[in-house]
Amino acid sequence: MQREKRSAILLLALAFILSVILAACSSGNNNAAGTASAQPSESSAPSASSQPSDSNAVDTSEEVKLKMILLGGKPVDYDLVFGELNKLLKEKINATVEVEFLDWADWNQKYPLKFAANEQFDLVYTANWAYYNDQSLKGGFLELTEDMLQKYAPKTWAAMPAVSWDQAKVNGKLYMVPNNNVEVTNKVVLYREDLRQKYNLPEINSLESYANYLKTVAQNEKGITAYGAKAADGWKWHELDQATLEHNNDFKVIDTRVPLAIKLDDATGKVFNIYDTPEFKELLAYYKDLADNGVWSKNVVNNKNDVWQDMKAGKVSSYAQNLGTVAANLAEARRDTPDQQFAIADIAPNSKKLAAISTQNGMAIHATSANPERALMLIDLLQNDKEIHDLTMYGIAGSHYNPEGDDKYTAGPNAVNYPAGISNWGWNSELNRQDASYPQEANDIFDGWQSKIYHYPLETYVFDDSNVKSEVANIGNVIIRYGIPLEYGLIKDTDKGVADLIEQLKAAGIDKVQQEMQSQIDAFLANQ
């Protein structure tokens, strides 16, 4: 017995040793592969820059395949459109591109994993709301130098205003080619104009008139939820807050993961806790009133439905989003559901309007891309080559869209098959066409805003959380647990709810984060 047991152990040990050896071999291979893939990118950069410096033409004699990551569902006609694109690219830069799509449902989980696992890809969509800062600081993107841009993206270099490049810098270094497009980030509400007229309600242009509309709908329209919120996806700072709390009081939350804000016109950039303001308490009373009147579902925090789809189906009567999105909704509704009339309202009309900084959308190059030059050339073409820009933004002319002049288009017969909400916004530029059916009122609102666009000194400041990561993580948790239910009026005693929220935030380390942010802001302002 004893003997048998011993040999069994020996066998096990042997198996173990064997597998360790195997593992060592495979990890050895991994290392080799790792260095092999790292080498060309290191060596190619200098050779590429030294070679073309003799002759100005870029050497594209070797055909390369590029991989690009975009957000959104794969369009039905992807093969058609990108097949066409690859023909053009082959001709122009001797390259082809293949796109991997990260679906909207779980992109924010998959996106960082692509970097952490160091997957092979060359280009990736990024934005200030899509990990731009985070990945730049972590070293996920290739730094783009002025030389590289001038050499490989000359058209973009010429077309982009200098301020857009500056806005995209993280700690003085550039990691993305931002889009070239003026956008305002203020939130508006989309509502049912037919319902407003049915009940003879006054025009919606303030918090009060909006509340009036919502409460009337909640009371009289059984089966329609007056306000649609998608709380279940864990966003801590929702769109209505932006309109009601930020825009109305001219506050600006610096980083949506922590409830710290500044006053827009405060030149000293003093940071304060937005939950610890009288304005927030007023807002809570406003929300509580809405909640008690049944404006939103009691189970709003568990609602996972797509709010816009619910609105189209006639189940929800209003929601808040940015102007571009609701304008697109409006155009879509006019095409698909003519029996419901929607309209757009600005419920904080006197607020200062904030322009999106250039990092609202952009394209970056993966730090370990084997072909950064060709990737950069591709970005140049996507953004500033009329033919390629049209193709990738709107699909195939005559099928997905019909060009109207140089700067407008109408939906073609196959419009639904492309682009269907993918993040080709990354190469928005002056070549963008406008949907001829784009609602005139959205244009009017936008034109009205242009004169109110307000630039403030901290516009391009981004919070670097590396010293307070634990605190930021815990604060996020506190907001979900104590803040969100409070805002949706689910906690009976609001005053106690606020006290609890603030106490928990303090325990989670908000003071330390505030100090850190303040010192960063002070340094940022001192440098200007």
Partner 1 sequence: MKRYGFWHDALKYRTLLLMLLPGVLFFMLFAYIPMAGVVLAFKQYTYDGGIFGSPWNGLDNFRFFFDSGSAWQVTRNTALYNIAFIIVNNVLEIAMAIFLFEIAGRWFRRVFQTLLFLPYFISWVVVGAIAYNLFSFDYGTINAVLKGLGMEPVDIYNTAAYWPVLLVVVSAWKAVGYGSIMYLAAITGIDTEMYEAAEIDGANIWQRITRITIPNLYPTIIILVLLAIGNIFRGDFGMFYNMVGNNGLLFASTDVIDTFVFRSLISSNDIGMSSAAGFYQSVLGFITILLANYAVRSYDKDRALF
The residue ranges that bind partner 1 (CB under 8 A) are: 1, 3-4, 7-8, 10-12, 15-16, 19, 23, 34, 108-109, 112, 115-116, 118, 134, 138-140, 225, 231-234, 257, 297-299, 301-302, 304, 367, 465, 469-474, 476-477, 480-485, 490-491, 504, 507-509
Q: Which is nearer to partner 1, 343 or 367 (CB)?
A: 367
Nearest to 517 by CA among 477, 487, 475: 475
Residues in the chain: 528
Please check whether residue 183 is in contact with residue 369, taking contact to mean a CB–CB distance below 8 angstroms: no
Cα separation, 125 vs 130, in Å, equals 8
Q: Which is nearer to partner 1, 72 or 483 (CB)?
A: 483
In the numeric block, which tokens belong to residue 220? 């009289």
Please check whether residue 158 is in contact with residue 140, taking contact to mean a CB–CB distance below 8 angstroms: no
To 10 degrees, what angle do helices 372-384 and 2-50 make?
60
Q: Which is nearer to partner 1, 134 or 459 (CB)?
A: 134
Q: Which is nearer to partner 1, 380 or 465 (CB)?
A: 465
- Strands, E, within 233-295: which ranges? 251-253, 260-263, 272-273
In the numeric block, which tokens belong to residue 422? 């993918």
Give the three-state DSSP class for 119.
coil
Q: Which is nearer to partner 1, 2 or 55 (CB)?
A: 2
DSSP 184: B
Q: Which is nearer to partner 1, 88 or 480 (CB)?
A: 480
Cα separation, 278 vs 284, in Å, equals 10
What backbone torsions phi and psi does residue 29 show, to the nearest 5 degrees? -60, -40
Give the three-state DSSP class for 52.
coil
Please check whether residue 167 is in contact with residue 357, taking contact to mean a CB–CB distance below 8 angstroms: yes
Question: Minimal distance in Å, beta carbon 214 to partner 1?
Answer: 16
Q: Which is nearer to partner 1, 122 or 183 (CB)?
A: 122
Question: Minimal distance in Å, beta carbon 398 to partner 1?
Answer: 41
399: Cβ contacts below 8 Å, ≥ 6 apart: 77, 80, 412, 413, 414
Q: Which is nearer to partner 1, 232 or 499 (CB)?
A: 232
Cα separation, 65 vs 96, in Å, equals 5
